[in-house]
Structure 1
Amino acid sequence: MNKTQFIFALTFILLSFNTAFAQYGYGNGYGNGYGGGMGRNSMSQMNQMDQTSSKPKEIPVEVTVAKIMEKLKPELNLDELQTIAIGNVYTDIIKSQTAIMKDEKLGQTEKSNEIKALFEVNERKVNEYLSEEQKLKYKALKEERGNDKKEKKKKKKSKKDE
C-alpha cells in the first residue's frame, strides 16, 4: 500500500467516525439524527431549566412592607414619621423571618417558636410608635385579621371534606 492509498483510507475512516458520532448528538454535528439532538449537553441543560423554574420567585421585602403600610396608614391614621418607623420595624422582622425559614439547622417547631417570638417583638416595637387610640385600633385590626385567617382555614377544610 503506498502513501496516497494509506492517506485516503485513513481520511475515509476518520470521516466515518465523525459522521457516526454527529448523528447521536456528539461532536460538532447538529444533533438532528438519532436522539433528536438529545446529547449529554442538551439533557443537562433541560435538567437545569427544570430546577430553576420550580423555585418560586421571592417578593422583595420592600414590596411586602409597602403593602402592609398601605393598609395600616389610613386605618391607624399614621403620620409620616410613624409610617417610616413602623415600616422599618416590619422590614427588619420580615428579613429575620426569612432568615429563620431558610435556616436548615432548625427544626420545624424551633422555627415556629422563633417566628412567634419575632411577632411578639414586632408588636412591642410597633406599639412604641403609636398613641393610645392607635394602639386600640391596631389591636382590633390584628384580631380581625386573625379571625379572617381562621375563617379561610375553615372554608378550605369544608371544601376538602366535600
Structure 2
Amino acid sequence: MKKIQFFLLFSFTLISFNSFAQYGYGGYGNGYGNGYGNNYGMGMSQVEQNAMKPKEIPAEVTVGKIMEKLKPELNLDELQTIAIGNVYTDIIKSQTAIMKDEKLSQEEKSNEIKALFEVNERKVNEYLNEEQRQKYKALKEERGNNKKEKKKKKKKED
C-alpha cells in the first residue's frame, strides 16, 4: 500500500514540476515568447532561495540538548559540563563544515565524520572518571541499539 502511495505522490510531483517548466515560474514569459506575462520565471530571488533553505540549528543549541541528557546521567560537575560541551561544539561545527564541502565524495565525508567521532570520544573520556566512562560507554551502546531497533521497525513497515 505504501508503494502505491509513494508512486502516486511521485507522479503528481513530477507532473507539477513539468507544468512549471513548460509555462515558466509565474507566467507565460519564459515558455511562450517574451510578450505573455511577467518575467518572474528568470529565477528565484535571493530572498526566496534563503526562505526555502531549512534553517540551521546553532551548534550551541544542539550541545545544550546533549548536555541536558548527559549531565544528570553521568553526574557531571560544572567544569566537566563546560569542557565536554566545548568538545561537542567543536565536533558539530567541524561536522557541518565537512557536510557542506562539495569537493569531498560521500565516502570521504563519511570517513572524516567517523574520525571526528573517534576524536570526540577520546576527548570526552579525558574529562571523565572511571565510573563516568563506564556509564558513558553504556549510554552510547544503548543509543546504538535504539537506532538498530528503529531501522528494523522501518524495514518491517515497508
Which category of TM-score, normalised to the shorter sequence, fits these structures? Answer: 0.7 to 0.9
Q: Which amino acid aligns with 1:117?
A: A
Measure how far apart 1:44 and its partner are: 4.4
Please name the residue that 2:132 is paired with: 134
Give the match for residue 82 of structure 1.
80
> What is the aligned-residue identity percentage?
77
Q: Deviations over 1:105-154 (max 9, x none)?
A: 11111111100000000000000000000000000000000001111111
For 2:51 and 2:148, locate their aligned partners in 1 and report how far apart those are by CA, in whole Å: 32
Q: How many residues of Structure 1 are paired with residues of Structure 2 in the alignment? A: 124
CA distance in 1 between partners of 2:141 and 2:120 (Å): 15
Runs of 5+ unmatched residues, structure 2: 1-26, 28-34
Which residue type is aligned with residue 114 of structure 1?
Answer: E
* Structure 1: runs of 5+ lacking an equivalent: 1-23, 25-33
For 1:52 and 1:87, locate their aligned partners in 2 and report how far apart those are by CA, in whole Å.
30
TM-superposed CA distance for 1:50, in Å, is 5.4
- Structure having the higher Rg: 1
Aligned with 1:107 (options 99, 105, 108): 105
Partner in structure 1 of residue 61 of structure 2: 63
State the TM-score, normalized to the length of structure 1.
0.71
Deviation for aligned residue 1:43: 3.6
TM-score by length of 2: 0.73
Name the residue aligned to 2:52. Answer: 54
Residue among 101, 116, 120 paired with 1:118: 116
Q: Which structure ranks higher in relative contact order (CA pairs < 8 Å, sequence separation ≥ 6)? A: 2
| Residues 2-41 of structure 1 mapped to structure 2, 5 A cutoff | 38-40=37-39
Correspondence for 1:145 among 136, 143, 146: 143
